[in-house]
Amino acid sequence: MTATGTTIHAPAPAPAVEAVGLRKRFGKIQAVDGVDLALAPGRIYGLLGPNGSGKTTLIRMLAGLARATGGEARILGTRMPSRPMLARIGYMPQAEALYPELSVGENLGFFASLLGRQDRGAIDAVLDLVELRDRKGTPALELSGGMRRRLSLACTLVHEPEVIFLDEPTVGVDPALRVQFWAHFRRLAASGTTILVASHVMDEADRCDELVFMRDGRVIGRGTGAELRERAGTTELEAAFLVLSGLDAYGNPGGGAPTSGGGQANGGGQASGGAA
Amino acid sequence: MSPRRILAIARRIAQGFRRDERTLGLMFVVPLVVTALLGWVLSEQVDEVVDVAVVNEAGQVGDRIVTALQDAATEPDSDIAVAAALGAGGVPEAEGMIRDGRADIGIVIPVDLLEKVLAGERPTLTVIAEGTDPAAETGRFGTLQAIMADVARELVPPGANPPVLPQVERRTIYLSVDASQADVLAPIFLGFFGYFFVFLLTGVSFLRERIGGTLERLLATPVTRFEIVTGYSLGFGTFATVQVIALTLFILNSVDVPAIGPLPPFSIGLGVDAVGSPLLAFVIALLLSLGAVNLGIFLSTFARTELQVIQFIPLVIVPQALLSGILWPVERLPEVLRAIANVLPLTYAVDGLREVMLKGADLTSGAVQTDLAVLGGIAVFFVVLASLTIKREVA
């Protein structure tokens, strides 16, 4: 599960996604408050945090949909927002974002032609991938929720992007399909694609190579699942998140740590907060 | 700018239409039905016969007028009928007849009729009407005056020669003398329907892009705002084009359908008298629709639901219908309203379409040039406005 993209570059590969002191303010609300990130190519990153922690805003800035109010974001070495770079990025929004009256093939064909990939081969290949080829002529309206989710993913992948941002891709997706999605993400990563998945479902986190914990617009911890658990001194990732947030493992503010590693965890939390 | 992406957006709109029969129906069937209905009402309105209750307060002299009115009423195709001829003191009864609908108008022949005529003065006849429908009553009053001109001969003092009244003959410069109201309104149908439907459909369609997340997904591709707006204009413009062509054919042509069973014979199409180039009329209607597409995109920013787009109709469409010269000429509006009318796109479209279709104006006409230039300018203005409302922080 460790770095699979090593065959491409012998020395430490240049990061595919980079954020330096990235900030976004909406009026009085500081949605993203100074995020530094460097995501290596060919790896899957999980962006975890509660609702309202700034995950979507961070992804929108990285994907070139929102302009940062401070700091900068780079994709494949190009400073974002950059319009030409958008053709090399895949973005799956939280909403379904499909045209309900259009068929599966028409929806996919539309986004494909905007992304510069019109050939039938690419469309059929991605339809095979999400197992919707036999539904090509069905209007999106008549698909089940899971199928629409698959179509939405297909629209994100049709142009074979090098960097993919997925905002809660498995919300409302049944377990079997979720397994398929992850298997596919893994295949993409193996071919050198960098993937950042935002989620608030902790049980998906272990499928990622590395995790980024976010809270109140800041990165409060980074590392593999095992590293984060160890640093927080907890066995559960959820508890690790709470501890790294400066809370105890039950979500109570600071103070007397109920777990044996509590004091140590608090210290670790502060250290990682400072480093982030 | 990439033509491929513009075409992709236009094609997407067409594909959406193809699967939405109701909207297609709305765009094509509704304008035709409404136009047919209006045309039918306006061109075949049944001539009204005015029922008159005469009150003669002047005795024998007045009887001559009453008889003359009765004679006029018995002529074939007469526009009046004498519902009652009442004697002195009959005013309350005449008023009662008007109240309960047995008469439309009451005429009171005054007591001092003979006195005035002998003194060479003009006697005053009083006309009583309901006073609830000024337009219709003005029409009835006109009918009555025409008849009174003939009746006036009866008022000539005995022994004098009756005056010779000239006959009036109508001649017209543009449409034929017996052009109907439908002929005059036909050009407006062309402009108005395109404007209304295109505005409504783009407004709703773009709102769906915003709330459904597809706009977000669009903006995550290398498409530019200008390409989106142009694609929309092209997509909806194509539909507006087909709509305007259908309406033009319907308005200009007429196919007679013979009686089938219990149905009376009728005709499909208005067969309106139009003199100018249909192509030029079409260009005017199209420019107007392009403005409407982008106005729809612009206003969709201010709506959160489809119902709120519908709420823009009374705000955007109705004032234009009232002020753009469809019902009342722009020149006769109060000054403030005229200033407003002068910035409304529909004003220029209505004027241009009238110039072309009623007066046969072509591109050499200054009025048509102005209308085209202003409509083009408004379309460009809304294109820019619409692209600015598509929030892309990317460029």
- pLDDT tens for chain B, 395 residues: list them: 789 999 999 999 999 888 888 888 877 888 888 888 877 777 666 667 888 999 998 888 888 888 888 888 888 878 888 888 888 888 999 999 999 989 988 989 888 888 887 787 888 888 888 888 887 788 888 878 877 777 776 666 666 666 666 777 878 888 777 777 777 887 887 788 878 888 988 999 999 998 988 999 999 999 998 999 999 999 998 888 888 888 888 888 777 777 777 777 767 777 777 777 888 988 998 899 999 999 999 999 888 898 998 898 888 888 888 899 888 888 888 999 999 999 999 999 999 998 988 888 888 889 999 999 999 999 999 999 999 888 755 43
pLDDT at A255 > cutoff 70 = no
The answer to whether the Cβ–Cβ distance between B12 and A106 falls below 8 Å is: yes
What is the pLDDT, as a whole number, of residue B138?
82
Q: What is the pLDDT of residue A254?
A: 58
A135 and A17 fall within a common domain: yes
For residue B394, the chain A residues in CB contact (below 8 A) are 64-65, 67, 81-83, 86
For A93-100, what is the mean pLDDT?
91
Q: Based on the structure, what is the number of domains in chain A?
A: 2
Question: Which of B20, B2, B24, B391 lies closest to B209, judged by CA?
Answer: B391
Output the pLDDT for position A260.
39
Do A32 and A139 have their domain in common? yes
**Segment A157-172 mean pLDDT:** 89
Q: What is the per-residue pLDDT across A79-90, written as a single tens digit (0 to 9) for each?
A: 988 888 999 999
d(CA B384, CA B388): 6
**pLDDT exceeds 60 at position A256:** no
Residue ending a domain, among A201, A223, A245, is A223
Residue B149 near residue B165 (C-beta atoms within 8 A): yes
Question: Can you tell me the distance from the alpha carbon of B356 to that of B379, in angstroms, rounded to the nearest whole number?
Answer: 20
Same domain membership, residue A133 and residue A236: no
Residues A240 and A124 in one domain: no
Report which of B371, B213, B182 is spatially closest to residue B291, judged by C-alpha positions: B371
pLDDT at B393: 52
Query: Nearest-CA neighbor of B294 among B168, B199, B359, B204?
Result: B199
Structure confidence at residue B163 (pLDDT):
64
- Report chain B residues whose CB lies below 8 A from the CB of A81: 393-395
Give the list of residues 6+ apart from residue A189 with CB closer than 8 angstroms, or none: A4, A5, A42, A43, A44, A195, A209
Q: What is the CATH number of the domain that holds A170?
A: 3.40.50.300
- Find out whether A163 and A185 touch, Cβ atoms under 8 Å: no
A111 and A134 fall within a common domain = yes
Instruction: Tell if the CB–CB gap between A64 and B394 is shorter than 8 Å.
Output: yes
Query: Which residues of chain B lie closer than 8 angstroms to A84, CB-CB?
Result: 222
Contact A125, A149 (CB under 8 A): no
Could you tell me if A48 and A13 are in contact, meaning their C-beta atoms sit under 8 angstroms apart?
no
Q: Are the C-beta atoms of residues B385 and B366 closer than 8 Å to each other?
A: no
Shared domain for A54 and A175, answered yes or no, is: yes
**Between chain A and chain B, how many beta carbons pairs sit less than 8 Å apart?**
86
Q: Which residues from chain A sit within 8 angstroms of residue B222, using beta carbons?
A: 83-84, 86-87, 114-116
Domain shared by A252 and A121, yes or no = no
In the predicted model, is pLDDT for residue A275 greater than 60?
no
Contacts of A87 in chain B (CB under 8 A): 221-222
Residues A253 and A174 occupy one common structural domain? no
* Dihedral of the alpha carbons of A36, A39, A45, A51, in degrees to the nearest 10: 30
Tally the residues of chain B.
395
- Report residue A10's pLDDT band, with 50, 70 and 90 as the boundaries: low
Question: Could you say which DSSP state residue A103 is in?
Answer: B
Q: Distance (Å, rounded) from C-alpha A13 to C-alpha B334? A: 74
In three-state secondary structure terms, A19 is strand
Q: Is A114–B222 a contact, with Cβ atoms under 8 angstroms apart?
A: yes
CB contact under 8 A, A93 and B216: yes
Chain A residues in contact with B219 by the CB 8 A cut-off are 65
Question: Which has the closest alpha carbon to A53: A81, A30, A22, A28?
Answer: A30
Chain A residue with CA closest to B228: the answer is A114
pLDDT over 50 at A71, yes or no = yes
A79 and A211 share a domain? yes
Which residues, 6 or more positions from A20, have their beta carbon under 8 angstroms from its beta carbon?
A: A36, A71, A72, A73, A74
**Domains of chain B as residue ranges with CATH:** 3-43+177-389 (no CATH), 50-155 (3.40.1710.10)
Output the six-digit token pair for B238: 């194509």
Tokens 């927080």 belong to A232
Question: What is the domain extent for residue A30?
Answer: 5-223
CA distances A113 to A106, A107, A162, B226, Å, are 10, 10, 18, 17
CB contact under 8 A, B19 and A114: no
Q: Which of A186, A205, A223 is the last residue of a domain?
A: A223
CA B162/CA B64 separation, integer angstroms? 15
Contacts of B298 (CB under 8 A, 6+ apart): B382, B385, B386, B389
Choose from A82, A113, A118, A166 for mutation: most chain B CBs within 10 A: A113
Last residue of some domain: A179, A200, A223?
A223
Mutation choice for A interface testing from B214, B225, B226 by most A CBs within 10 A? B214
Q: For B211-267, write each residue's pLDDT tens digit.
A: 988 999 999 999 998 999 999 999 998 888 888 888 888 888 777 777 777 777 767
Q: Are residues A210 and A274 in the same domain?
A: no
Q: Which residues of A touch B (CB under 8 A)?
A: 63-67, 81-84, 86-87, 89, 91, 93-103, 106, 110-111, 113-116, 118, 139, 155
Based on the fold, state whether residues A143 and A243 are members of the same structural domain.
Answer: no
| Per-residue pLDDT at A194 | 96
* A119, A204: one domain: yes
